Amino acid sequence: MKKLKTLISTMLCLCAVCALALPAHALEYNISAPGNPEYGKPTSFEPVVTADGGAMKNEDVSKSAARVPPGFGTPSSYMLNTGEYLTPNLVPSQMAGAGQVNGNVAVVTPPVSEGVPGSTGSYPITDTSTTTPSTTPGFTEVTSALYYSDGSLGTLKIPSIGLIVKVFEGTGSAPLLKGAGHFEGTSIWNGNCCIAGHNRGVRNDFGKIHTLKTGDIITFTTKLGARTYAVTGVEKVSVNDVSGLEPTAVNMISLYTCVMDQPAFRWHVTAVETV
């Protein structure tokens, strides 16, 4: 028995020695460089002078050429190269004048139309938030007292399409990034309350309003109370048609959004207060 244990011990020692005697091989790695990597776009605007004395210019993608998009429904909302410059103090002087040309692109100043949302014109602001005759258009002005602590004016709900969205003042890019936007210059309560929203991209609040059916319920809650409306119509209108923003005697709500791939049109949903 003692000899057997000795033999086993001897064999184990020999195995250990053999293992230590084997050469060690390191793992081999082969990492190749990426092909045609995509780096960020250049933001320079440097002239490149050619041998014949001509010059080519790179595309200016710096913030000095960036623009804030025009407001929803404005006359220039689908015109290229319109809107206010993001950093007007950095805009070259030759780009600042209306009608002047920068390269092959003319600088366009949007027209100002009285009563068109997004322009300097507006509808008459006459507070008729109290009881008015049925033949007199109702109108409730937006005042500081109507804002909630989060900056919104109210909450819009459409159960049939699962929509709950806050409504903010204005139809420019900033309000519509937060929720739906109330058309400036239109009523916020009595009469015709007009609201716009995106239907794709970062926000898709109004992506299904064109599917609404007659009788579908819409509720709008503000500091003035809560109202329930029933859908009366869904139509496709021209981008230049602002008749749906006019004040009305009946309490109603008008919703607007773009028509996908048809920039010349808008979806217009109307709903009237239920009794």
| 204-215 pLDDT tens trace | 999 999 999 999
Residues 105, 170 within the same domain: no
User: Does any domain span residue 132?
Assistant: no
Residues 103, 209 within the same domain: no
User: Does residue 217 have a pLDDT over 60?
Assistant: yes
DSSP string, 15-47: HHHHHHHSPP-PPP---PPPSS--PPPP----E
User: Does any domain span residue 40?
Assistant: no
- Rounded mean pLDDT, 66-90: 65
User: Does any domain span residue 138?
Assistant: no
pTM score over 0.75: no
Give the whole-angstrom CA distance, residue 67 versus residue 172.
13
Residues 233, 175 within the same domain: yes
Nearest to 110 by CA among 158, 135, 77: 77
| Number of structural domains found in the chain | 2
CB 239 within 8 Å of CB 182: no
CATH code of residue 265: 2.40.260.10
Residues 171, 262 within the same domain: yes
Residues 82, 198 within the same domain: no
Residues 228, 163 within the same domain: yes
User: Does residue 131 have a pLDDT over 50?
Assistant: no
Nearest to 187 by CA among 249, 235, 122, 141: 141
- β-pairing, 180-182 with 163-169? parallel
User: Does any domain span residue 159?
Assistant: yes
Point out the least confidently predicted range of 56-60, 87-91, 209-213. Answer: 56-60
Point out the least confidently predicted range of 40-49, 144-153, 167-176, 245-254. Answer: 40-49
Residues 178, 246 within the same domain: yes
Give the whole-angstrom CA distance, residue 69 versus residue 167.
20
Tell me the pLDDT tens digit for each residue of 74-84: 655 656 666 67
Q: Which domain holds residue 216?
A: 144-273
Residues 150, 268 within the same domain: yes
Residues 87, 203 within the same domain: no
pLDDT of residue 34: 63
User: Does any domain span residue 190?
Assistant: yes
- Rounded mean pLDDT, 62-78: 64
Residues 80, 165 within the same domain: no
